[in-house]
Chains A and B, each alone.
Chain A
Amino acid sequence: MLTGEGLWFRYAPQLPWVIQAQTLAVEPGEVVGLMAPSGFGKTTLAKLLAGYLAPTKGRVSVDSQPLPRRRYCPVQLVFQNPELAVNPRWRIDQILREGHPPQMHQLDALGIHSGWLTRYPHELSGGELQRIAIARTLNSQTRYLIADEMTAMLDANTQALIWQAVLDYTRAHQIGVLVVSHDWPLVRRLCDRILDLAADQDHCTLVSGVAE
């Protein structure tokens, strides 16, 4: 289980708290939505859970173990803008081979053309590059995926295609997913359970879209 317990965060002692006393958990194979108004620190929380930032107070753990500092992090984060997530000087196949390469059929499922593999990030469109950033996280070392507005830049058809491929993979491999998004219909469609930071508790449990 991925847990964040009693999480507090601020950038410096003289600055205000961005995250205050948040506790949340995601089970393996579960898809959890995270909703909150702007300014509630959703993105910061996502970064804490993926080890991009260290909490000022509290702790993040996977199966009671703290996140590893040096090794590949079992909690992977995908943001809205893939440009910031890849090394601009590496070729796409290099980017994908870094760490734990995904399998060919997953590249297909995500609609990644083999022709893209020999290009550089700036030669792909934002939507194409986002598929690469996602493909990179779908490997045997990933236990949890945090999708922070992951498909907000994509058209509806591509969004549905990508989520179909991602959820097929995470269900088959019991990967827990945290969906951070402003898009209420999307969150409702994807998630087994929705957390509302503003309500400060796990206030509603919804059956995921397919069963509706």
Chain B
Amino acid sequence: MLSVSNLSVTFSQYEKGLRRKQLTVITDLDLEVQAGEVVAVVGASGSGKSLLAHAILGILPENAAVGGTMLFHGQPLTPERCQQLRGKAIALVPQSVGYLDPLMRVGQQVQRVAQLNGLSKPAARTAVKQTFQRYDLPPQADRCYPFQVSGGMARRVLVSTAVVSQADLVIADEPTPGLHPDVVTETLNHLRELAQEGRGVILITHDIGAALLVADRVAVFYAGTTAEIASAQDFASGNLRHPYTQALWRSLPQNDFVPVPGTQPSPEALPVGCLFSDRCPWVTEACLPERPALRAVRRGLVRCIHADR
């Protein structure tokens, strides 16, 4: 359904004295999403996961230049096409109710999304009613303003907007931080259901634990590139390929809680070779002259030259 390959995003900024500075924040990023599956995109802040969402939705700022290819149903996603599809074939489940219009009742907002997708007003109203019912939102919720709904209800309203849009591809951006475990599970289950209806779902999160509860596959981003794409089972079964993915897994409090020291390199100071080389326990001379390519190892994809050891 969606195929992203070699995506790059470069920002140009004017510094003092009108010197132009190019900042490449995404390099060689790859991702595939099929109908009916949940793909989690996991990474630290600054790893490029939100920018990927913005690129797919065509909402990058003007000073961003996009390279590589993005195909949606086999056709290139040009800026014009992104705009046509956004909110229709491709929908975003935003991070918080902050994305809703604070002055408009939530029912009305969801209805508006349905109408934008070509439903007549009565049909849209019915769709909202059905969707609210499906998500156990009380009928009064319809008439609430965003600030009046509780955290759990807000999550359901936000999912509702994606559901009434009939989108093929749903992108959920950090839907769970700091939420109560019950609300997390509920939100993730809703995403799972959307995939079961045949949609493709991208779950963007920094929370590996949440990702593994629901995803079929997990793409791990590091410093603007895809470090590894693994199946969800690879984590618990110890089949991880990239040393960074292994480190992320080990650092969970329910595992060893032992982190790798250091931070992601900043886009201004990316190493020539492997982006993880300054923190990698396996690093050798061979890792330094150029970026490792994404390659298949044990039925997953990994950007590490020593991954098959």
Contact = CB atoms under 8 A, between A and B. Distances in A.
A183 B206 contact: no
Contacts of A184: 181
A113 interface: yes
Given A111-B262, A156-B251, A209-B253, A149 B178 contact: yes
Contact residues of B: prevailing secondary structure: loop
A190 B253 CA distance: 9
B150 to A, nearest CB: 8
A128 to B, nearest CB: 7
B208 interface: yes
Given A38-B150, A185-B252, 4 more contacts: A111-B261, A156-B248, A157-B248, A190-B253
Contacts of A163: 257
B247 A115 contact: no
Contact residues of A: prevailing secondary structure: helix
Interface size class of B (residues with CB under 8 A): 20 to 34
Interface residues of A, number: 33
Nearest to A209: B257
Interface of B: 42-46, 150-152, 177-181, 183-184, 206-209, 247-249, 251-254, 257-263, 266
Contacts, number: 94
A24 interface: no
A127 B45 contact: yes
Contacts of B251: 156-157, 159-161
Contacts of A186: 253
A42 to B, nearest CB: 10
22 contacts: A80-B177, A111-B261, A113-B266, A125-B46, A127-B45, A127-B46, A128-B46, A149-B177, A152-B178, A156-B207, A156-B249, A156-B253, A156-B259, A160-B253, A160-B257, A160-B259, A161-B251, A161-B259, A161-B261, A182-B184, A185-B209, A185-B252
A157 B247 contact: yes
Interface of A: 37-39, 80, 111, 113, 115, 125-128, 149, 152-161, 163-164, 182-186, 188-190, 209
Nearest to A189: B253
Nearest to B244: A157
A155 B263 CA distance: 12
A66 to B, nearest CB: 30
Nearest to A130: B45
